[in-house]
Amino acid sequence: MPDTASELRELFLTAEEAADLDAPGRTDAAVLVPLYLDGGELHAVFTKRREDLRRHPGEISFPGGRQDSPEEDLRVTALREAEEEIGLPRESVELVGALAPTPTFVTGYVIHPFVGLIEKGQVWELQPSEVELVLEFSLPALVRGYESRRLLRRGVPFRTPTYTVEGQLVWGATARIVQLLLERLRPLLA
């Protein structure tokens, strides 16, 4: 397992390389993929959205959202949103790279994932209007929980990667981001 951010940086795209990749969508958004090392295993931090939200109720995602303005650097967007949603101070995150932009098929977003290294044992301060809880899953548990499944959304069947850990289902754009993350980290997970 890596013990330095520089080892992780070698496995990810730079923000500039990721920005050069094209993905369909009309609205840019960014998420932070917070990772920490515990017991020799990398863990990822997710949020579970409140069940009473109009958009994506009860879904599991990474902290993130839309840019405040078109000029806002998407890395800043990801860090700002993580601070707002789960109380993760931006100065506590060491960005180590990016993943390819991921489109959402229904809402027309292009999600730009940025991977950040954090210390384990963070105290989360949830944004009560949006976040129900924070989930922390080890990457090996995500690998074990992988399944390609046929789901039904708004009456339309589709096949998607899914990850089930501790009874929690990760699917959709978040699962596609997890898939990209695990592909990049494959040399460390073997």
- Residue 1: band (very low, low, confident or very high) from pLDDT cuts 50, 70, 90: very low
Structural domain harbouring 75: 5-140
Phi, psi values for residue 82, rounded to 5°: -65, -35
Specify the range with the lowest mean pLDDT, choosing from 2-6, 35-39, 40-44, 155-159: 2-6
Span 126-146, pLDDT tens digits: 999 999 999 999 999 999 999
Question: Does the residue 44 lie in any domain?
Answer: yes
Kindly report the pTM of this predicted structure. 0.92
Asked if residue 2 has pLDDT above 70, the reply is: no
Instruction: Give, in order, the Cα–Cα distances in Å from 16 to each of 28, 65, 74.
Output: 15, 19, 11
Question: Does the residue 11 lie in any domain?
Answer: yes
Parallel/antiparallel/unpaired status of strands 109-117 and 27-38: parallel
Question: Does the residue 169 lie in any domain?
Answer: no
Position of tokens 């080892």? Answer: 7
Span 66-79, pLDDT tens digits: 998 888 999 999 99
Q: How many structural domains compose the chain?
A: 1
Question: Does the residue 24 lie in any domain?
Answer: yes
The mean predicted confidence, pLDDT, of the chain is: 90
Question: Does the residue 189 lie in any domain?
Answer: no
Question: Does the residue 171 lie in any domain?
Answer: no
Q: Which two tokens stand for residue 124?
A: 């989360």
- Residue 3: band (very low, low, confident or very high) from pLDDT cuts 50, 70, 90: low
Please give the DSSP secondary-structure letter assigned to residue 13: B
Parallel/antiparallel/unpaired status of strands 168-170 and 41-49: unpaired
Span 99-126, pLDDT tens digits: 999 988 777 889 999 999 999 999 999 9
Asked if residue 58 has pLDDT above 80, the reply is: no
Question: Does the residue 96 lie in any domain?
Answer: yes
Q: State the Cα–Cα distance between residues 60 and 18, nearest whole angstrom.
A: 23
- Residue 54: band (very low, low, confident or very high) from pLDDT cuts 50, 70, 90: confident
Nearest C-alpha neighbor of 32 from the set 112, 87, 119: 112
CATH number of the domain that residue 23 is part of:
3.90.79.10
